[in-house]
Amino acid sequence: MAHQHIAFIGAGNMASAIFGGLIDGGFPADHIIAACPDADLLDAVAKRYGVKTTIDNAEAIRQADVVVLAVKPQIMKSVCEPLKSQLKDGPLFISVAAGLKVDTLDHWLGGGQSIIRCMPNTPSLVGAGASGLYGNARVTDTHRTTATELMQAVGIVEWVEEESLLDAVTAVSGSGPAYFFLMIEALEEAGVNRGLPLETARRLAIQTAYGASKMASQSEQDPAQLKRNVMSPKGTTEQAIFSFENAGIKAIFDDATRACSDRASEMS
Ligand code: NAD
């Protein structure tokens, strides 16, 4: 990807997280152009990252091999339609907008485009994201490599082979950060109920979530085994895990992710 030119349409949180990550990884800032109507924001990103900027979306895509669509879903149609007359060499489009199908984007872009739809999540903003990617039939292996490298700038990447599976990705990782915030919140409240000061309970809960995630990501053992490793027979952890299981914790996750996935499917 080193010699490609990348245009970002939208220069907000998600776009700047991605190009910031690329530049940190050694990608040349002068191969990146960011476009949006907010001149103050463009000044700020030009100063901070050294990328080129423009308030003209059409100018941004003129030299681009890759166009990242990083505007809110509700304005995507009005952003895409004016671009279609400018498209000559068919750049690769990567959309990070929630809920917009590749066929819808292709239609807005005049048809026949190579389009990858990406479902990122908010930890991408701190370089610890998890993204699900799906490409339409025009997407080549080279395109897939490019998109993988691009989104790896903000975290891990998983490809799905059916677009509908992006609803499942939404249910696991797209909305997932909120589930873990909820667990941290519940654990800190439980810690307070056991007598700890709030700040102490919060720091312990946050660090424990981070530590467990780090262990799970580095270990060759699966999470179920890691859980068993800390459950000595008749020990303290076993008591807690039995209590969670008796309350139906896995069924709760199954129901919650089904509700999330169904809603994602309704919205796209
Ligand atoms: P943001 O509000 O931070 O940025 C939106 C950008 O779009 C701004 O730079 C704005 O000036 C620009 N914009 C507005 N009108 C425009 C136009 N006509 N032409 C070009 N640019 C225009 O939003 P964000 O959080 O970066 O979200 C961008 C996309 O990423 C959304 O579609 C969202 O669904 C998706 N996303 C974001 C997150 C996240 O954690 N922030 C997570 C998953 C998906």
Residue nearest to atom 12 of ligand 1 (CA): 10
In ligand 1, the atom with minimum distance to the C-alpha of 95 is: 32
Q: Is 104 helix (H, G, I), strand (E, B) or coil?
A: helix
Residue 89 has a pLDDT of 72
Q: Which of 71, 133, 267 to mutate to test the pocket of ligand 1 (most atoms within 8 A of CB)?
A: 71
In ligand 1, the atom with minimum distance to the C-alpha of 122 is: 40
Where are the alpha helices (H) located in the chain, listed in sequence order?
A: 13-24, 39-49, 57-62, 76-80, 102-108, 141-151, 165-169, 176-193, 198-218, 223-229, 236-246, 249-267
Residue 85 has a pLDDT of 83
CA 168 / ligand 1 centre spacing (Å): 22
DSSP string, 173-231: IISHHHHHHHHHHHHHHHHHHTT--HHHHHHHHHHHHHHHHHHHHH-SS-HHHHHHHT-
In ligand 1, the atom with minimum distance to the C-alpha of 16 is: 26
Match 């039995």 to its residue by tokens: 242
Per-residue pLDDT of the chain (268 residues; tens, 9 = 90+): 767 999 999 999 999 999 999 999 999 999 999 999 999 999 999 999 999 999 999 999 998 999 999 999 999 999 999 998 878 778 999 999 999 999 999 999 999 999 999 999 999 999 999 999 999 999 999 999 999 999 999 999 999 999 999 999 999 999 999 999 999 999 999 999 999 999 999 999 999 999 999 999 999 999 999 999 999 999 999 999 999 999 999 999 999 999 999 999 998 8
Spatial distance between the Cα atoms of 219 and 221, rounded to a whole number of angstroms: 5
Residue 3 has a pLDDT of 73
Amino acid at 258: R
List, chain by chain if needed, residues with CB within 6 Å of any ligand 1 atom.
9-15, 35-38, 41, 57, 70-73, 75, 79, 96-98, 120-122, 124-125
Nearest Cα to 60, choosing from 91, 16, 98? Answer: 91
Complex ipTM value: 0.98
CA 41 / ligand 1 centre spacing (Å): 12
Residue nearest to atom 23 of ligand 1 (CA): 12
Amino acid at 262: D
Cα dist from 27 to 21, 44, 128, 181, whole Å? 9, 19, 19, 33
Residue 268 has a pLDDT of 83
Cα dist from 232 to 211, 228, 229, whole Å? 19, 8, 7
Spatial distance between the Cα atoms of 70 and 48, rounded to a whole number of angstroms: 19
Q: Which helix (H) or strand (E) holds 94?
A: strand 92-95
CA 11 / ligand 1 centre spacing (Å): 7
pTM above 0.80, yes or no: yes
CA 12 / ligand 1 centre spacing (Å): 5
CA 36 / ligand 1 centre spacing (Å): 10
